[in-house]
Structure 1
Amino acid sequence: MNTTLMVRIDGVKPTQGALGLEHVREKMAMTGEHSADTLPSFLRDHALRAVRGPGGSLHVIDHHHWARAWYELGFREAPVCVDCDFSALPPDEFIEAMNARGWFHPYDERGRPTSVERLPGTIAAMPDDPYLSIAAFARMAGVFEDPPEFNAKFAWADFFRTRVSGDFGTISGFAKALAQAIATSSDAAARRLPGLIA
Protein backbone atom coordinates (compact mmCIF):
# COMPACT_ATOMS: atom_id res chain seq x y z
CA MET A 1 0.00 0.00 0.00
CA ASN A 2 2.67 2.51 1.15
CA THR A 3 0.58 5.67 1.03
CA THR A 4 2.29 8.73 2.57
CA LEU A 5 0.26 11.54 4.13
CA MET A 6 0.59 14.31 6.72
CA VAL A 7 -1.10 13.41 9.99
CA ARG A 8 -1.45 15.04 13.41
CA ILE A 9 1.08 13.46 15.75
CA ASP A 10 -1.37 13.47 18.64
CA GLY A 11 -3.78 11.44 16.52
CA VAL A 12 -1.58 8.39 15.90
CA LYS A 13 -1.50 5.46 18.32
CA PRO A 14 1.64 3.79 19.68
CA THR A 15 2.11 0.05 19.31
CA GLN A 16 4.68 -0.21 22.10
CA GLY A 17 4.35 0.68 25.75
CA ALA A 18 7.38 2.93 26.22
CA LEU A 19 10.28 4.66 24.48
CA GLY A 20 13.72 5.95 25.41
CA LEU A 21 13.73 9.68 26.08
CA GLU A 22 17.50 10.07 25.68
CA HIS A 23 17.12 8.54 22.24
CA VAL A 24 14.28 11.01 21.59
CA ARG A 25 16.56 13.91 22.58
CA GLU A 26 19.20 12.69 20.15
CA LYS A 27 16.61 12.75 17.37
CA MET A 28 15.46 16.21 18.43
CA ALA A 29 19.06 17.41 18.04
CA MET A 30 19.34 15.78 14.61
CA THR A 31 16.12 17.46 13.49
CA GLY A 32 17.31 20.82 14.81
CA GLU A 33 20.34 20.69 12.52
CA HIS A 34 18.11 21.22 9.48
CA SER A 35 17.15 24.51 7.91
CA ALA A 36 13.71 25.40 6.64
CA ASP A 37 14.91 24.33 3.18
CA THR A 38 16.15 20.86 4.13
CA LEU A 39 13.66 20.03 6.87
CA PRO A 40 10.74 18.84 4.68
CA SER A 41 12.94 16.32 2.86
CA PHE A 42 14.46 15.16 6.16
CA LEU A 43 11.02 14.58 7.65
CA ARG A 44 9.89 12.60 4.61
CA ASP A 45 13.03 10.45 4.78
CA HIS A 46 12.09 9.53 8.37
CA ALA A 47 8.34 9.23 7.88
CA LEU A 48 6.48 7.27 10.53
CA ARG A 49 5.40 3.81 9.43
CA ALA A 50 1.83 2.99 10.36
CA VAL A 51 -1.04 0.59 9.88
CA ARG A 52 -4.62 1.71 9.46
CA GLY A 53 -6.84 0.01 12.02
CA PRO A 54 -10.55 -0.22 12.84
CA GLY A 55 -12.38 3.05 12.33
CA GLY A 56 -9.47 4.43 10.30
CA SER A 57 -7.17 4.79 13.32
CA LEU A 58 -3.45 4.95 12.55
CA HIS A 59 -1.08 2.77 14.60
CA VAL A 60 2.65 3.56 14.42
CA ILE A 61 4.71 0.42 13.82
CA ASP A 62 8.08 2.15 13.43
CA HIS A 63 9.69 5.50 14.31
CA HIS A 64 7.97 6.17 17.63
CA HIS A 65 11.11 8.07 18.69
CA TRP A 66 10.99 10.36 15.68
CA ALA A 67 7.30 11.04 16.36
CA ARG A 68 8.00 11.99 19.98
CA ALA A 69 11.02 14.09 19.01
CA TRP A 70 8.98 16.11 16.56
CA TYR A 71 6.12 16.46 19.03
CA GLU A 72 8.52 17.76 21.69
CA LEU A 73 9.89 20.25 19.15
CA GLY A 74 6.38 21.63 18.68
CA PHE A 75 5.53 20.01 15.35
CA ARG A 76 1.86 19.12 15.20
CA GLU A 77 1.97 17.05 12.00
CA ALA A 78 4.35 14.44 10.65
CA PRO A 79 4.62 12.44 7.42
CA VAL A 80 3.18 8.95 7.81
CA CYS A 81 3.68 6.05 5.43
CA VAL A 82 0.68 3.70 5.65
CA ASP A 83 2.08 0.23 5.11
CA CYS A 84 -1.10 -1.75 5.52
CA ASP A 85 -4.87 -1.22 5.79
CA PHE A 86 -6.66 -3.35 8.39
CA SER A 87 -9.52 -0.90 8.82
CA ALA A 88 -12.10 -3.47 7.70
CA LEU A 89 -11.18 -5.86 10.52
CA PRO A 90 -13.06 -5.97 13.84
CA PRO A 91 -10.86 -5.04 16.84
CA ASP A 92 -10.06 -8.61 17.92
CA GLU A 93 -9.03 -9.66 14.41
CA PHE A 94 -7.01 -6.47 14.04
CA ILE A 95 -5.05 -7.29 17.21
CA GLU A 96 -4.54 -10.84 15.95
CA ALA A 97 -3.28 -9.62 12.57
CA MET A 98 -0.89 -7.15 14.22
CA ASN A 99 0.43 -9.75 16.66
CA ALA A 100 0.99 -12.23 13.82
CA ARG A 101 3.37 -9.71 12.25
CA GLY A 102 5.07 -8.73 15.50
CA TRP A 103 3.75 -5.18 15.27
CA PHE A 104 2.56 -4.86 18.86
CA HIS A 105 5.05 -4.76 21.72
CA PRO A 106 2.83 -4.55 24.82
CA TYR A 107 5.42 -4.02 27.54
CA ASP A 108 5.55 -1.13 30.00
CA GLU A 109 8.48 1.13 30.90
CA ARG A 110 9.91 -1.55 33.19
CA GLY A 111 9.77 -4.22 30.53
CA ARG A 112 6.77 -5.92 32.14
CA PRO A 113 4.09 -7.46 29.91
CA THR A 114 0.85 -5.52 29.63
CA SER A 115 -2.14 -5.74 27.30
CA VAL A 116 -2.66 -4.09 23.93
CA GLU A 117 -5.64 -2.30 25.43
CA ARG A 118 -3.39 -0.70 28.08
CA LEU A 119 -0.86 0.74 25.63
CA PRO A 120 -0.52 4.56 25.81
CA GLY A 121 -3.19 6.33 23.81
CA THR A 122 -0.86 8.91 22.29
CA ILE A 123 2.82 9.39 21.46
CA ALA A 124 3.03 12.15 24.10
CA ALA A 125 1.77 9.76 26.80
CA MET A 126 4.52 7.18 26.26
CA PRO A 127 6.68 6.80 29.39
CA ASP A 128 10.46 6.61 29.45
CA ASP A 129 12.27 3.27 29.48
CA PRO A 130 15.95 4.26 29.80
CA TYR A 131 17.03 0.78 28.70
CA LEU A 132 15.56 1.42 25.25
CA SER A 133 17.90 4.43 25.00
CA ILE A 134 20.84 2.33 26.23
CA ALA A 135 20.02 -0.28 23.57
CA ALA A 136 19.72 2.37 20.85
CA PHE A 137 23.11 3.89 21.65
CA ALA A 138 24.71 0.45 21.97
CA ARG A 139 23.44 -0.28 18.47
CA MET A 140 24.96 2.99 17.22
CA ALA A 141 28.25 1.93 18.85
CA GLY A 142 28.25 -1.21 16.71
CA VAL A 143 27.23 -3.77 19.34
CA PHE A 144 24.31 -5.10 17.29
CA GLU A 145 22.22 -4.43 14.23
CA ASP A 146 18.51 -4.91 13.55
CA PRO A 147 17.82 -8.05 11.50
CA PRO A 148 15.05 -7.36 8.95
CA GLU A 149 12.69 -9.82 10.60
CA PHE A 150 13.15 -8.67 14.21
CA ASN A 151 13.33 -5.40 16.13
CA ALA A 152 16.36 -6.30 18.19
CA LYS A 153 16.31 -3.28 20.50
CA PHE A 154 13.66 -4.83 22.75
CA ALA A 155 15.67 -8.00 23.34
CA TRP A 156 18.82 -5.99 23.99
CA ALA A 157 17.00 -3.58 26.34
CA ASP A 158 15.79 -6.55 28.38
CA PHE A 159 19.29 -8.04 28.39
CA PHE A 160 20.76 -4.77 29.69
CA ARG A 161 17.90 -4.36 32.19
CA THR A 162 19.18 -7.32 34.23
CA ARG A 163 22.86 -6.37 33.99
CA VAL A 164 23.14 -2.57 33.97
CA SER A 165 22.14 -0.14 36.69
CA GLY A 166 22.89 3.44 37.59
CA ASP A 167 21.65 6.99 37.64
CA PHE A 168 20.05 7.50 34.24
CA GLY A 169 19.04 11.05 35.11
CA THR A 170 22.48 12.61 34.73
CA ILE A 171 24.86 12.74 31.77
CA SER A 172 27.64 11.04 33.73
CA GLY A 173 25.26 8.39 35.08
CA PHE A 174 23.88 7.61 31.65
CA ALA A 175 27.40 7.48 30.20
CA LYS A 176 28.50 5.00 32.88
CA ALA A 177 25.43 2.85 32.26
CA LEU A 178 26.14 2.84 28.54
CA ALA A 179 29.75 1.84 29.19
CA GLN A 180 28.48 -1.03 31.37
CA ALA A 181 26.08 -2.09 28.63
CA ILE A 182 28.77 -2.18 25.96
CA ALA A 183 31.02 -4.18 28.29
CA THR A 184 28.29 -6.73 29.03
CA SER A 185 27.68 -7.26 25.30
CA SER A 186 30.80 -9.44 25.29
CA ASP A 187 29.24 -11.83 27.83
CA ALA A 188 28.56 -15.34 26.58
CA ALA A 189 24.84 -14.80 27.24
CA ALA A 190 24.77 -12.04 24.60
CA ARG A 191 25.56 -14.53 21.84
CA ARG A 192 21.94 -15.70 21.77
CA LEU A 193 20.62 -12.17 21.14
CA PRO A 194 19.49 -11.06 17.66
CA GLY A 195 21.81 -8.98 15.55
CA LEU A 196 24.99 -9.32 17.63
CA ILE A 197 27.97 -8.07 15.66
CA ALA A 198 30.88 -10.39 16.37
Structure 2
Amino acid sequence: MARARPQLIRARLETLHPTQLTVGLAEVQAKRQEWQQLKRKARTAALNDHWFPCVLGPRQRYYIVDHHHFGLALLQEEVKEVPLLVLKDLSFVEPDSFWEVMGFNQWAHPYDAQGVRRSFERIPGRILDLQDDPYRSLAGLLRRAGGFAKDATPFSEFLWADFFRRRIDIETLCKLGAKVRARGMKLARSQDARYLPGWVGQIVD
Protein backbone atom coordinates (compact mmCIF):
# COMPACT_ATOMS: atom_id res chain seq x y z
CA MET A 1 0.00 0.00 0.00
CA ALA A 2 1.47 3.36 -1.02
CA ARG A 3 2.13 5.91 1.73
CA ALA A 4 0.14 9.14 1.56
CA ARG A 5 2.20 12.08 0.38
CA PRO A 6 2.38 15.23 2.50
CA GLN A 7 -0.28 17.71 1.41
CA LEU A 8 0.49 21.35 0.64
CA ILE A 9 -2.21 23.87 1.57
CA ARG A 10 -2.62 27.41 2.91
CA ALA A 11 -4.34 28.41 6.15
CA ARG A 12 -4.97 31.39 8.40
CA LEU A 13 -2.07 31.75 10.78
CA GLU A 14 -4.21 32.74 13.75
CA THR A 15 -6.12 29.42 13.59
CA LEU A 16 -3.04 27.19 13.90
CA HIS A 17 -2.58 25.27 17.15
CA PRO A 18 0.93 25.14 18.70
CA THR A 19 2.47 21.90 19.99
CA GLN A 20 4.72 23.43 22.66
CA LEU A 21 4.30 25.76 25.62
CA THR A 22 7.17 28.17 25.11
CA VAL A 23 9.31 30.16 22.70
CA GLY A 24 12.29 32.46 23.16
CA LEU A 25 10.90 35.96 22.71
CA ALA A 26 14.34 37.37 21.90
CA GLU A 27 14.47 35.02 18.91
CA VAL A 28 10.93 36.03 17.92
CA GLN A 29 12.03 39.67 17.97
CA ALA A 30 15.06 38.85 15.83
CA LYS A 31 12.81 37.20 13.26
CA ARG A 32 10.52 40.24 13.28
CA GLN A 33 13.47 42.50 12.55
CA GLU A 34 14.55 40.27 9.67
CA TRP A 35 11.02 40.33 8.28
CA GLN A 36 10.80 44.11 8.51
CA GLN A 37 13.91 44.46 6.37
CA LEU A 38 12.46 42.41 3.51
CA LYS A 39 10.73 43.87 0.46
CA ARG A 40 7.41 42.47 -0.77
CA LYS A 41 8.89 39.91 -3.18
CA ALA A 42 11.43 38.79 -0.62
CA ARG A 43 8.66 38.29 1.95
CA THR A 44 6.74 36.09 -0.48
CA ALA A 45 9.90 34.07 -1.10
CA ALA A 46 10.54 33.76 2.64
CA LEU A 47 7.06 32.32 3.20
CA ASN A 48 7.46 29.91 0.29
CA ASP A 49 10.69 28.69 1.90
CA HIS A 50 9.05 28.16 5.29
CA TRP A 51 6.21 25.70 4.88
CA PHE A 52 4.82 25.11 8.36
CA PRO A 53 4.84 21.33 9.00
CA CYS A 54 1.63 20.33 10.72
CA VAL A 55 -0.73 17.54 11.64
CA LEU A 56 -4.47 17.65 11.02
CA GLY A 57 -6.07 16.95 14.39
CA PRO A 58 -9.47 16.77 16.08
CA ARG A 59 -12.18 19.14 14.87
CA GLN A 60 -10.23 19.57 11.61
CA ARG A 61 -7.69 21.87 13.27
CA TYR A 62 -4.08 22.11 12.14
CA TYR A 63 -1.34 21.61 14.74
CA ILE A 64 2.05 23.02 13.72
CA VAL A 65 5.05 20.96 14.77
CA ASP A 66 7.80 23.48 13.89
CA HIS A 67 8.43 27.18 13.12
CA HIS A 68 6.65 28.43 16.25
CA HIS A 69 9.03 31.39 16.55
CA PHE A 70 8.52 32.39 12.94
CA GLY A 71 4.78 31.96 13.31
CA LEU A 72 4.60 34.24 16.34
CA ALA A 73 6.80 36.82 14.60
CA LEU A 74 4.52 36.79 11.56
CA LEU A 75 1.41 37.17 13.71
CA GLN A 76 2.95 40.18 15.42
CA GLU A 77 3.71 41.55 11.94
CA GLU A 78 0.02 41.03 11.03
CA VAL A 79 0.60 38.33 8.41
CA LYS A 80 -2.72 36.57 7.87
CA GLU A 81 -2.02 33.42 5.87
CA VAL A 82 0.85 30.92 5.64
CA PRO A 83 1.60 27.75 3.68
CA LEU A 84 1.29 24.41 5.46
CA LEU A 85 2.84 21.00 4.86
CA VAL A 86 0.36 18.45 6.25
CA LEU A 87 2.45 15.52 7.49
CA LYS A 88 -0.37 13.36 8.81
CA ASP A 89 -4.15 13.29 9.05
CA LEU A 90 -5.04 12.37 12.65
CA SER A 91 -8.44 13.99 12.59
CA PHE A 92 -10.07 10.58 13.13
CA VAL A 93 -8.15 9.93 16.37
CA GLU A 94 -10.08 10.34 19.62
CA PRO A 95 -9.15 13.62 21.36
CA ASP A 96 -7.99 11.73 24.48
CA SER A 97 -5.52 9.74 22.37
CA PHE A 98 -4.44 12.50 20.01
CA TRP A 99 -1.75 14.07 22.21
CA GLU A 100 -0.33 10.67 23.13
CA VAL A 101 0.14 9.94 19.43
CA MET A 102 1.72 13.39 18.97
CA GLY A 103 4.13 12.74 21.84
CA PHE A 104 5.05 9.29 20.52
CA ASN A 105 5.97 10.82 17.16
CA GLN A 106 7.97 13.64 18.83
CA TRP A 107 5.51 16.18 17.47
CA ALA A 108 4.81 17.82 20.84
CA HIS A 109 6.97 19.34 23.58
CA PRO A 110 4.91 19.99 26.73
CA TYR A 111 7.61 21.70 28.81
CA ASP A 112 7.10 25.05 30.52
CA ALA A 113 9.40 28.07 30.92
CA GLN A 114 11.14 26.38 33.86
CA GLY A 115 11.87 23.25 31.82
CA VAL A 116 9.24 21.24 33.72
CA ARG A 117 7.12 18.73 31.83
CA ARG A 118 3.40 19.53 32.01
CA SER A 119 0.28 17.77 30.81
CA PHE A 120 -0.52 18.11 27.12
CA GLU A 121 -3.64 20.05 28.13
CA ARG A 122 -1.39 22.92 29.24
CA ILE A 123 -0.30 23.57 25.65
CA PRO A 124 -2.09 26.80 24.63
CA GLY A 125 -4.63 26.85 21.84
CA ARG A 126 -3.08 29.87 20.11
CA ILE A 127 0.43 30.74 19.01
CA LEU A 128 -0.06 34.19 20.58
CA ASP A 129 -0.37 32.57 24.02
CA LEU A 130 3.04 30.86 24.02
CA GLN A 131 5.17 31.62 27.12
CA ASP A 132 8.63 33.13 27.05
CA ASP A 133 11.54 30.90 28.02
CA PRO A 134 14.65 33.13 28.27
CA TYR A 135 16.92 30.08 28.10
CA ARG A 136 15.39 29.22 24.74
CA SER A 137 16.20 32.79 23.69
CA LEU A 138 19.82 32.27 24.76
CA ALA A 139 20.01 29.00 22.83
CA GLY A 140 18.70 30.67 19.68
CA LEU A 141 21.09 33.60 19.97
CA LEU A 142 24.08 31.31 20.48
CA ARG A 143 23.14 29.10 17.54
CA ARG A 144 22.97 32.16 15.31
CA ALA A 145 26.41 33.17 16.59
CA GLY A 146 27.91 29.78 15.75
CA GLY A 147 27.86 28.26 19.23
CA PHE A 148 26.29 25.11 17.81
CA ALA A 149 24.82 24.00 14.51
CA LYS A 150 21.19 23.73 13.51
CA ASP A 151 20.12 20.10 13.81
CA ALA A 152 17.17 18.06 12.58
CA THR A 153 16.63 16.48 16.00
CA PRO A 154 13.10 17.43 17.16
CA PHE A 155 13.12 20.30 19.67
CA SER A 156 16.93 20.25 19.72
CA GLU A 157 17.23 23.87 20.82
CA PHE A 158 15.11 23.12 23.88
CA LEU A 159 17.74 20.54 24.85
CA TRP A 160 20.31 23.32 24.63
CA ALA A 161 18.03 25.61 26.65
CA ASP A 162 17.89 23.03 29.45
CA PHE A 163 21.68 22.64 29.29
CA PHE A 164 22.10 26.39 29.92
CA ARG A 165 19.28 26.40 32.50
CA ARG A 166 21.32 24.07 34.72
CA ARG A 167 24.45 26.22 34.46
CA ILE A 168 23.34 29.86 34.35
CA ASP A 169 20.98 31.23 37.01
CA ILE A 170 17.96 33.25 35.91
CA GLU A 171 19.13 36.46 37.60
CA THR A 172 22.36 36.36 35.58
CA LEU A 173 20.48 35.58 32.40
CA CYS A 174 17.92 38.40 32.66
CA LYS A 175 19.41 40.93 30.24
CA LEU A 176 21.13 38.55 27.80
CA GLY A 177 24.13 40.89 27.85
CA ALA A 178 27.58 40.37 26.37
CA LYS A 179 28.94 38.62 29.48
CA VAL A 180 26.09 36.10 29.50
CA ARG A 181 26.51 35.42 25.80
CA ALA A 182 30.25 34.92 26.23
CA ARG A 183 29.67 32.51 29.09
CA GLY A 184 27.00 30.68 27.10
CA MET A 185 29.31 30.40 24.10
CA LYS A 186 32.06 28.92 26.27
CA LEU A 187 29.60 26.39 27.68
CA ALA A 188 28.25 25.52 24.24
CA ARG A 189 31.73 24.76 22.93
CA SER A 190 32.78 22.81 26.02
CA GLN A 191 33.13 19.04 26.40
CA ASP A 192 30.15 19.10 28.76
CA ALA A 193 27.92 19.85 25.76
CA ARG A 194 29.28 17.15 23.46
CA TYR A 195 26.17 14.95 23.85
CA LEU A 196 23.88 17.67 22.48
CA PRO A 197 22.65 17.78 18.86
CA GLY A 198 24.63 20.23 16.74
CA TRP A 199 27.67 20.39 19.04
CA VAL A 200 30.58 21.71 16.98
CA GLY A 201 33.47 21.10 19.33
CA GLN A 202 35.78 23.23 21.37
CA ILE A 203 37.35 26.44 20.14
CA VAL A 204 41.00 25.99 19.26
CA ASP A 205 43.13 29.02 20.11
- TM-score between the two structures when normalised by the length of structure 1: 0.90
3-state DSSP of counterpart to 1:192: coil
From 45, 52, 55, the counterpart of 1:41 = 45
Give unmatched runs, 5+ long, in structure 1: none
3-state DSSP of counterpart to 1:197: coil
Task: Give 1:169 deviation, angstroms.
Answer: 5.4
Provide, for residues 111-166 of structure 1, a one-character-per-residue CA deviation record: whole Å limited to 9, x for no partner.
Answer: 11111111111000001111111111222222222443443201110000121244
Change in CA separation of 1:76 and 1:17 when aligned onto 2, cut-off 3 Å: same
Quote the residue 1:71 is aligned against: 75
Query: Is the 1:19–1:64 contact (alpha carbons within 8 Å) kept by the matching residues of 2?
Result: yes
Quote the residue 1:129 is aligned against: 133
Query: Is the 1:145–1:152 contact (alpha carbons within 8 Å) kept by the matching residues of 2?
Result: no
Query: Is the 2:189–2:200 contact (alpha carbons within 8 Å) kept by the matching residues of 1?
Result: no
From 181, 188, 192, the counterpart of 1:189 = 192
Report the residue type matching 1:180 in the other structure: R
From 10, 16, 19, the counterpart of 1:12 = 16
Percent identity over the alignment? 34
Change in CA separation of 1:146 and 1:101 when aligned onto 2, cut-off 3 Å: farther
Provide, for residues 76-107 of structure 1, a one-character-per-residue CA deviation record: whole Å limited to 9, x for no partner.
Answer: 22222212111111123322221111111001
Cα distance in 1 for partners of 2:12, 2:178 equals 34
Change in CA separation of 1:69 and 1:101 when aligned onto 2, cut-off 3 Å: same
Query: Is the 2:10–2:83 contact (alpha carbons within 8 Å) kept by the matching residues of 1?
Result: yes
Query: Is the 1:48–1:66 contact (alpha carbons within 8 Å) kept by the matching residues of 2?
Result: no
Report the residue type matching 2:164 in the other structure: F
**More displaced stretch, 137-146 vs 109-118:** 137-146
Report the residue type matching 2:42 in the other structure: T
3-state DSSP of counterpart to 1:81: strand
Please, what is the CA RMSD of the aligned residues?
Answer: 1.8
3-state DSSP of counterpart to 2:22: coil
Query: Is the 1:150–1:194 contact (alpha carbons within 8 Å) kept by the matching residues of 2?
Result: no
3-state DSSP of counterpart to 1:70: helix
Report the residue type matching 2:183 in the other structure: Q
Cα distance in 1 for partners of 2:127, 2:27 equals 14
Cα distance in 1 for partners of 2:172, 2:199 equals 26
Does residue 181 of structure 2 align to residue 140 of structure 1? no
Q: Mapping of 1:22-171 within 5 angstroms? A: 22-165=26-169, 166=171, 170=175
